[in-house]
């Protein structure tokens, strides 16, 4: 049986066929690039920011532009608490955060912040690359975040003051010191008799300038890049706490990326870890001369005196009870007996 087509039907059919051929011949539209907003609390010239930028360049090159990392330094996306909230909600895709701050959400992240736990920086890096880091990383994932496996370095922290040098534990009695919003930081200084006040680093310079607090504690790299030498006279080399820098992503966002791109992003950050660690440690170790020229007076301390005071106050016993036996045992494997 033959079918007769009207001229109108024929023309419509021909047009549809031509359209189909054109669509088939047209190359597939390129997927829109994935943009990762990455926030940090340190300035642009700090090694952490520079190494994040370097990771971003590698990511862009290896994904052929499919993934772009935008680095926002100096709290441009908000203070640490705000950025952490934004990463959890997905408004920001990634951030770098000190484990002392992260511990407000993931308590086990504070394990390597125990006062005077690590004698050498290599001990801290080995612990976090090893079982300590593996256990904490699992807890971070349980909080809906995805951590890069190799932690970056913030360094050992020292105490600065505008009123007096801190030479012994007794010098901390009643001393008004700013600490980050971290339970273990507050606990450490309260056990040493100080009047500890929690403030985000974005508010710290003004608090020191207006004498709301007498002093603060940070690695030398941050003391210099944040220009605290302008409002602090004394720096006491206490090395009382080591802080690592976790790089974390929103879990939902992370899982939405193609597996190949996730592999490239994580490798770029993990490959930068030893570079960042070395650069940050070199910066911290080089700054005593620079800060002395900028008006600061330095003094050394005896860590054994401070550790003895913490043992006597029950600091280690209190914190041992807060961590799992497996995590505490992992820490002591690298740091030695603490309690």
CA distance 232 to 205: 10
- Percent of the chain beyond pLDDT 90? 89
Q: Comparing C-alpha atoms, which of 166, 262, 266 is closest to residue 216?
A: 166
**What DSSP state is assigned to residue 55?**
H
Spell out the domain ranges in the chain: 34-335
Q: What is the pLDDT of residues 87-139, one digit of tens each?
A: 999 999 999 999 999 999 999 999 999 999 999 999 999 999 999 999 999 99
Kindly report the pTM of this predicted structure.
0.88
Average pLDDT estimate for 80-93 = 97
Average pLDDT, the chain: 92
Average pLDDT estimate for 16-39 = 61
Residue 64 or residue 31, greater confidence: 64
From residue 182, give the alpha-carbon distance in Å to each of 69, 98, 102, 274, 338.
Answer: 28, 10, 8, 26, 21
What pLDDT is recorded for position 30?
A: 54
Give the pLDDT band (50/70/90) at residue 32: confident
Give the pLDDT band (50/70/90) at residue 74: very high
CA distance 54 to 269: 9
**What DSSP state is assigned to residue 156?**
E
- Strand-pair category, 215-218 with 234-250: unpaired
What pLDDT is recorded for position 215?
A: 98
Neighbours of 143 (CB within 10 A): 15
Q: How far is CA 211 from the centre of its chain?
A: 28
- Strands (DSSP E) contained in 80-227 are 94-98, 145-147, 152-161, 176-179, 195-198, 215-218
Residues in CB range of 216: below 8 A, 6 or more apart? 159, 160, 177, 178, 179, 204, 208, 228, 232
Q: Which CATH architecture has domain 34-335?
A: 3-Layer(aba) Sandwich (3.40)
What pLDDT is recorded for position 10?
A: 41
Mean pLDDT lowest for which of 9-18, 48-57, 257-266? 9-18
Residues in CB range of 206: below 8 A, 6 or more apart? 212
Using the structure block, give the residue that is written with the tokens 């500890």: 196
- Strand-pair category, 34-39 with 67-72: parallel
Sign, Cα dihedral of 97, 103, 109, 114: positive
The answer to whether 327 touches 103, Cβ cutoff 8 Å, is: no
Q: Comparing C-alpha atoms, which of 128, 186, 188, 159 is closest to residue 316?
A: 188
Q: Comparing C-alpha atoms, which of 226, 322, 252 is closest to residue 88?
A: 252
The answer on pLDDT for 6 being more than 60 is: no
The answer on pLDDT for 2 being more than 80 is: no
Tokens of 204: 């710290």
Average pLDDT estimate for 158-179 = 98
- Strand-pair category, 297-300 with 94-98: unpaired
3-class secondary-structure state, position 225: helix
């Amino acid at each position: 049986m033959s079918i007769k087509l009207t001229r109108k039907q024929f023309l419509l059919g021909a047009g549809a066929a031509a359209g189909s051929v054109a669509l088939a011949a047209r190359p597939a539209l390129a997927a829109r690039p994935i943009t990762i907003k990455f926030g940090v609390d340190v300035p642009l010239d700090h090694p952490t920011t520079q190494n994040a930028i370097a990771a971003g360049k590698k990511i862009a090159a290896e994904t052929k532009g499919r993934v772009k990392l935008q680095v926002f330094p100096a709290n441009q996306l908000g203070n640490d608490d705000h950025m952490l909230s934004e990463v959890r909600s997905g408004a920001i895709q990634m951030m770098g955060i000190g484990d002392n701050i992260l511990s407000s959400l993931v308590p086990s992240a504070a394990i390597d912040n125990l006062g005077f736990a690590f004698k050498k920086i290599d001990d801290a890096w080995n612990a976090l690359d090893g079982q300590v880091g593996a256990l904490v990383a699992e807890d971070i994932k349980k909080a809906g975040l995805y951590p890069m496996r190799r932690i970056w370095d913030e360094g050992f922290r020292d105490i600065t003051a505008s009123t007096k040098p801190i030479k012994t534990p007794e010098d901390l009695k009643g001393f008004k010191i700013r600490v980050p919003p971290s339970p273990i930081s507050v606990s450490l200084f309260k056990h040493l008799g100080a009047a500890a006040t929690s403030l985000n680093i974005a508010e710290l310079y003004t608090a020191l300038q207006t004498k709301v607090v007498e002093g603060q504690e940070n690695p030398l790299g941050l003391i210099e890049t944040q220009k605290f030498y302008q409002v602090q006279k004394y720096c006491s080399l206490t090395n009382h706490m080591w802080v690592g820098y976790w790089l974390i992503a929103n879990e939902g966002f992370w899982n939405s990326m193609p597996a190949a791109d996730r592999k490239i992003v994580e490798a770029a950050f993990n490959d930068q870890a030893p570079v960042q660690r070395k650069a940050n440690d070199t910066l911290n170790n080089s700054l005593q001369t620079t800060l002395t020229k900028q008006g600061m007076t330095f003094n050394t301390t005896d860590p054994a005196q401070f550790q003895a005071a913490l043992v006597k106050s029950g600091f280690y016993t209190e914190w041992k009870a807060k961590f799992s036996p497996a995590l505490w045992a992992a820490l002591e494997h690298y740091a030695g007996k603490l309690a």
